[in-house]
Chain A
Amino acid sequence: MQTKCGVFFESYREEARLLVGGFQKSRFAAFFLLLLASPWFLNNYHVSVLIFINIAIIAAVSLNVLTGACGQISLGHGAFVGVGAYAAAYFGFQGVPFLPGLLLAGVAAAIVGAFFGIPSLRLKGIYLAISTLAAQLILEYVFLHWDAVTGGSNGMPVDSPSIAGFAFDTDRSMFYLTLFFAVLAVLVASNVMRTRFGRAFIAIRDHYLSAEIVGVDLFRFKLLAFAFSSFMAGVAGALWAHYTMYITPEPFAITLSISYLAMIIIGGLGSVQGAVFGAIFITILPEALGYLADGLSGVFPEVSSYLLAAKEGVFGLVLVLFLIFEPEGLNHRWKLFKSYWKLYPFAH
């Protein structure tokens, strides 16, 4: 593990810590306190952006386990999130309380994800990408046409979540709820990466033959990666459904899958922290563009309408520019930034 100069570990336990050293811990605590306090000084709109960031973090971190760590490219993650959302809505409609419903939504998504992961046992790289693309489009079709369960194009209403009589019906309470699950997702993902499962995933990504030779059961671990990742995606979808309180098939289209992939690529493939950075960046990007358009509309009235129309294009452009100029992602830049200050004023 990369640490500061002068930090020595005296036991394995110390080495396995997520946060090393007093400064890192206090920095993290300060950041976390700021985050906890944020809904009290932000307006509702900003809090709702934060909620979407939390949900995106869960989904991006989960995709990162599948694609970043295990090397299984998935163009169907948006649909798996959708499965979770619809399952949560369906179980909620059947009278299942929030927490068990959340679990069931995750399980439903895990089953669907593992099912569409089966081709990964025979396919790699581009072929797998295309088969998950097929999964995405098939699931989209199911969302739209299985009227009895999904409500078809009319969509479905979903209740606000409530736990033991406490209803999470304000943006502020939803923020804390989603933040809790986002933190949980980050912790689970970071810890999975450090266990034998995570190491098996990485071995499969790096060289599947060597992995098999050292005893990794490819069949089991690939399906496990798909199931685990889809489970978390399903939880993200369930939270999404409970927050927006109404779901239709539109948001769970291929563009969602692409933006999740963009999050982990822009953040930095294979790193949990990178996925978090990417989720924040991609969720804020359209909001920032909206602000920019608002700000410019006073000066050039026409620019703003163009800028709003071009939101999607800007997303694509950012993706292209990142891949060309910063292929290692934001996480890499963050490390460079930290090491710059660590070494300052000696650049090398």
Chain B
Amino acid sequence: MEYYLQLVINGLVVGSIYSLVALGFVIIYKATKVVNFAQGELVMVGAYICFALTVQFQLPFLAAFFLTLGFSVVFGLAIERVILRPMVGEPIISVIMITVGLSTVLKSLVQLFWGTQIRVYPSVLPQEPVFIAGLPVSPVYIAAFVLALVLFGIFSLFFKYSRYGVAMRATAYDQTAAASMGIGIKNIFALSWCIAAVVSSIGGVILGNINGINSQLGHLGLKVFPAVILGGLDSLLGAAVGGVVIGILENVLDGAAKEFLGLSGFKEVAAFIVLVIILMIRPYGLFGTHEIERV
């Protein structure tokens, strides 16, 4: 029992990072209807920038963190302007493939600069585990979870009350109508890529603090798909719930497969089996808009 409880807690932490990555994904999809296959690579780039600033340039962690956020803003804007802007109105497969192309470019750039080996962040938080319900939990995990919660709070408020948040929702709902009401669609697109890059790099920095980083980090982006499909492609709440649920499910199923079936590495695939099942039953997810075309 304790074994599974530990798995659930691990899943919760990994899941909260999935949620952050899924949040970036959902924001882009919601505003621009672009499916971003390079989401994991945005996480990776953020993580490496922060790593470079703290370790290679010896900046204090907080300064490096905020510089990374600043970089992500510029980075998100640049991607939107250079790569996604020309793709407006192109067929869906082209848009998918351009983000796939982007992801391989980012991955090889990271490998070019930092190589493929695992890099470890200097520890920022205390190492001694905190005991929750008798189980040892590392403070980094708690920080990750809390940070994810805070970010979700901020973005929910942002979308509900702020001027830009409302504009983004309007754009997502109907681009033409939003444009005719004086909303700058291009700015909204840029903003959504910006936010996605920022959120992802926060996820990357957290991950770097937990496990260290290597150039395979981008693989994480694939895990986002089960999470957002479960939650619903265009729902923020869905991203939060989906990420956490997939994180927990994946850990628990992996543990169960190891214990009962003797299968190793089931973690890699558990989420995708869940994904196929969700797609067959409820393609629009738990909280997504019910507008998917049935064939």
B96 within 8 A of A: yes
With known contacts A119-B280, A129-B35, A320–B102 Cβ distance under 8 A: yes
**16 A/B residue pairs, CB under 8 Å, sorted by A:** A123-B283, A126-B96, A129-B96, A141-B265, A145-B265, A218-B295, A254-B222, A261-B93, A306-B112, A309-B108, A310-B112, A312-B107, A316-B100, A316-B104, A318-B101, A320-B102
A317 within 8 A of B: yes
B65 within 8 A of A: no
Give chain A interface residues in 101-134, CB to chain B under 8 Å. Answer: 119-127, 129-131, 133-134
B132 within 8 A of A: no
Interface string of B181-206 (1 = CB under 8 A from A): 00000000000000000000000000
Residue pair B222, A133 in contact (C-beta under 8 Å): yes
A324 within 8 A of B: yes
A144 within 8 A of B: yes
Residue pair B94, A327 in contact (C-beta under 8 Å): yes
Residue pair B265, A130 in contact (C-beta under 8 Å): no
Q: CA separation between A122 and B94, bound complex, in Å?
A: 22
Residue pair B97, A323 in contact (C-beta under 8 Å): yes
Known: A130-B279, A320-B83. 19 other contacts (CB 8 A): A73-B93, A119-B280, A122-B283, A123-B279, A129-B92, A137-B272, A141-B266, A144-B265, A265-B93, A313-B107, A316-B101, A316-B102, A316-B108, A319-B101, A320-B105, A323-B97, A323-B98, A324-B98, A327-B90
* Distance in Å: Cβ of B261 to nearest Cβ of chain A: 10
B276 within 8 A of A: yes
Give chain B interface residues in 208-256, CB to chain A under 8 Å. Answer: 222, 225-226, 229, 233
* A138 partner, pick from B100, B264, B273, beta carbons under 8 A: B273
Q: How many A-B residue pairs have CB under 8 A?
A: 136
Q: Hey, which chain B residues are within 8 Å of A141, CB to CB? A: 265-266, 268-269
Give chain A interface residues in 294-328, CB to chain B under 8 Å. Answer: 306, 309-320, 323-324, 327
* Distance in Å: Cβ of B253 to nearest Cβ of chain A: 13
Closest to A208 in B: B295
A85 within 8 A of B: no
Give chain A interface residues in 259-304, CB to chain B under 8 Å. Answer: 261-262, 265, 269
Residue pair B112, A261 in contact (C-beta under 8 Å): no
Chain B binding surface SS class = helix
Q: Hey, which chain A residues are within 8 Å of B293, CB to CB? A: 124
Closest to B279 in A: A131
With known contacts A144-B265, A309-B108, A312-B107, A324–B83 Cβ distance under 8 A: yes
A258 within 8 A of B: yes
B86 within 8 A of A: yes
Residue pair B98, A320 in contact (C-beta under 8 Å): yes
Residue pair B100, A258 in contact (C-beta under 8 Å): yes
Residue pair B265, A309 in contact (C-beta under 8 Å): no
Q: Hey, which chain A residues are within 8 Å of B269, CB to CB? A: 137-138, 140-141
Q: Which of B97, B103, B294 has the most CB of A within 10 A?
A: B97
* B92 partner, pick from A125, A140, A258, A319, beta carbons under 8 A: A125
Q: How many residues from A make CB contacts under 8 Å with B?
A: 47
Q: Which of A138, A314, A317, A324 has the most CB of B within 10 A?
A: A324
Q: CA separation between A127 and B272, bound complex, in Å?
A: 13
* Distance in Å: Cβ of B25 to nearest Cβ of chain A: 11
B292 within 8 A of A: yes
* Distance in Å: Cβ of A160 to nearest Cβ of chain B: 33
Residue pair B112, A317 in contact (C-beta under 8 Å): no
B146 within 8 A of A: no
B64 within 8 A of A: no
A67 within 8 A of B: yes
Residue pair B294, A122 in contact (C-beta under 8 Å): yes
Residue pair B97, A133 in contact (C-beta under 8 Å): no
Q: Which of B35, B111, B279, B295 has the most CB of A within 10 A?
A: B295
B154 within 8 A of A: no
Q: Hey, which chain A residues are within 8 Å of B279, CB to CB? A: 119, 122-123, 127, 130-131, 134
* B292 partner, pick from A127, A317, A323, beta carbons under 8 A: A127
Closest to A255 in B: B104
* Distance in Å: Cβ of B239 to nearest Cβ of chain A: 15
Residue pair B90, A67 in contact (C-beta under 8 Å): no
Q: Hey, which chain A residues are within 8 Å of B233, CB to CB? A: 126
